[in-house]
Amino acid sequence: MLLSGSSLIGTPIMSLQTGKELAVTSHPIVNPHNLSIIAYRIVGPHLDHNPSYLRTADIRELGGLGMIVDSSDEFLEPDDIISDKDIYEMEFELHGKHVIDDRRNKIGKVIDYVVDIDSFTIQQLVVKRPLLKSFNDDELLVHRGQIVEVTDDTVVIKSTNIKEKAKLTGSRHYVNPFRQTGTQPEAVRIETDD
């Protein structure tokens, strides 16, 4: 199932053991190398440490009540993080990144993204167009397959429109395809036994 990334912020985290709300999500931890959400920074009055994190791998289910986990034992503090520690410390923010194409044309800014909640991979970027280009479309959806590179400042995507200059010939003679001067095929009559 696909959901917008902004709709997952402020999602309650519910305990399977107690049935109570333990915390809420406040900020996604995005891996910029493969555009996946590996964890969420979480906040709440019942947390022992600030900051605390919930790995997306520890989410049992995402439903109408929120994100369901076994218990608060799933929450991590910064000292507990061993793998991907550099990604947590990077605090990569996708929201607000400039989007340009591979020809360095400005496309817009990332205002949201679409997440596959089964794998927590970012499938599409929602890009707000600049004012002068927003008369036709004020927002664009960019599929992850179009993304060429993600840097600290920008997201580079493939150019969508390839303009080739038409080759001009010296002749200005145009041929009407409906007025051929060559021989036309003769009509064939098929006889049937009726």
Q: pLDDT tens digits for 167-178?
A: 444 444 444 544
**Total residue count of the chain as it appears in this document:** 194
| 137-176 residue pLDDT tens | 688 899 999 999 999 889 999 986 544 333 444 444 444 5
Query: CB under 8 Å to 55, separation ≥6 — which residues?
Result: 38, 39, 74, 76
| Dihedrals phi, psi of 136, to nearest 5 degrees | -85, -50
- So what's the pLDDT on residue 139? 86
Residue 162 has phi, psi (to 5 degrees) of: -105, 115
The pTM of this model reads 0.75
Q: What pLDDT shows up at residue 164?
A: 39
Q: Which pLDDT does position 32 carry in this prediction? A: 93
Cα–Cα distances (Å) from 25 to 58, 68, 129, in that order, read: 14, 12, 28
Domains of the chain, CATH where assigned: 2-90 (2.30.30), 98-157 (2.30.30.240)
d(CA 14, CA 22): 6
